Chains A and B, each alone.
Chain A
Amino acid sequence: MEPKVISQTLLKAAHSGRWKYGQHSHFCQKQGSGNNWAYGYSVHGPKHEESIMNLIQKEVEKYDSLRGFSTIMSMAGGTGSGLGAFLTQNLRDAYPNSFIINQIIWPYGTGEVIVQNYNSVLTLSHLYRSSDALLVHENDVVHKICAKLMNIKQISFRDVNQVIAHQLGSVFQPTYSPEDSCQYRRNPLGDLMASLVPHPEFKMLGLRNIPQMSENSLAYTTFAWTGLLKHLRQMLISNAKMEEGIDWQIRPPLSGLPALEKVLPNKEFHFNTSIANLVILRGKDVHSADLGGFKDPALYTSWLQPSDAFSEWRTHRAFNKYEKLAALVSNSQFLLKPLDTIIGKAWNMFASKAYVHQYTKFGIEEEDFLDSFTVLEQVVASYCNL
Chain B
Amino acid sequence: MEEGVVNEILQGPLKDIFDSKQLITNVSGSGNNWAVGYKVFGSQYQDQIVEKLRQTAEHCDCLQCFFIIHSMGGGTGSGLGTFILNVLEDEFPEVYRFVTSVFPSGEDDVITSPYNSVLAMKELNEHADCVLPIENESLFDIVSKINQMVTSGKPGTTVKPESLVTLNEGGIKKKLQEKPFDTMNNIVGNLLLNLTSSARFEGSLNMDLNEITMNLVPFPQLHYLVSSLTPLCTLADVNIPPRRLDQMFSDAFSKDHQLIQADPKHSLYLACALLVRGNVQISDLRRNIERLKSSLHFVSWNQEGWKTSLCSVPPVGHSHSLLALANNTCIKPTFIELKKRFTRLYKKKAHLHHYLQVDGMEESCFTEAVSSLSSLIESYNELDVTKGLPVHDPLRLNIVI
Contacts and interface: CB of A to CB of B under 8 A. Distances in A.
A108 interface: yes
B206 A155 contact: no
Given A4-B206, A32-B211, A354 B301 contact: yes
Given A154-B284, A354-B218, A34 B210 contact: yes
A40 B5 CA distance: 43
A357 B220 CA distance: 7
A314 to B, nearest CB: 36
B283 A108 contact: no
Contacts of B293: 110
Given A111-B306, A351-B394, A34 B301 contact: no
A143 B343 CA distance: 55
Interface residues of A, number: 49
Contacts of B285: 111
A89 B228 CA distance: 43
Contacts, number: 119
Contacts of B208: 32, 34
A378 B205 contact: no
A53 interface: no
Contact of A114 (B210, B215, B290, B401): B215
Nearest to A146: B283
A190 B130 CA distance: 49
A183 B296 CA distance: 60
Contact of B393 (A108, A147, A344): A344
Contacts of B218: 354-355
Contact of B300 (A8, A158, A343, A348): A348
A110 B289 contact: yes
Contacts of B302: 114, 349, 354
A65 to B, nearest CB: 38
Query: Quick one: which of A343, A354, A373 has the most chain B CB within 10 A?
Result: A354
Interface in B348-401: 393-394, 396-399, 401
Contacts of A338: none
Contact of A157 (B282, B284, B394, B398): B282
B238 interface: no
B305 interface: yes
A374 B206 CA distance: 32
B308 interface: yes
Given A354-B218, A358-B214, A111 B204 contact: no
Contact of B281 (A4, A111, A156, A378): A156
A156 B214 contact: no
Nearest to A139: B282
B201 to A, nearest CB: 8
A102 interface: no
A112 B214 contact: no
Interface in A96-153: 108-115, 143, 147, 153
A348 B217 CA distance: 17
A318 B304 CA distance: 42
A30 B208 CA distance: 10
A378 B399 CA distance: 6
A347 B271 CA distance: 17
B195 to A, nearest CB: 15
Contacts of A108: 286
B62 interface: yes
Contact of A154 (B62, B210, B281, B303): B281
A147 B287 CA distance: 12
A5 B64 CA distance: 18
Interface in A1-42: 2, 4-5, 8, 29-32, 34-36
Contacts of A157: 204-205, 282
A347 B396 contact: yes
A109 B304 contact: yes
A307 interface: no
Query: Quick one: which of B208, B289, B293 has the most chain A CB within 10 A?
Result: B208
B282 A155 contact: yes
Given A114-B302, A349-B302, A385 B215 contact: no
A42 to B, nearest CB: 13
A115 B305 CA distance: 8
B215 A113 contact: yes
A352 interface: yes
19 contacts: A2-B206, A4-B206, A5-B206, A34-B211, A36-B214, A78-B214, A110-B293, A111-B289, A157-B282, A345-B303, A347-B393, A347-B396, A354-B302, A355-B214, A357-B219, A357-B220, A358-B213, A377-B397, A380-B399
Shortest 9 CB-CB contacts between residues of A and residues of B? A34-B210, A30-B62, A354-B218, A110-B304, A111-B306, A155-B283, A351-B394, A114-B215, A381-B399
Given A34-B213, A111-B289, A143-B283, 4 more contacts: A78-B211, A113-B211, A345-B303, A377-B398
Interface of A: 2, 4-5, 8, 29-32, 34-36, 78, 108-115, 143, 147, 153-158, 160, 343-345, 347-349, 351-355, 357-358, 373-374, 377-378, 380-381, 385
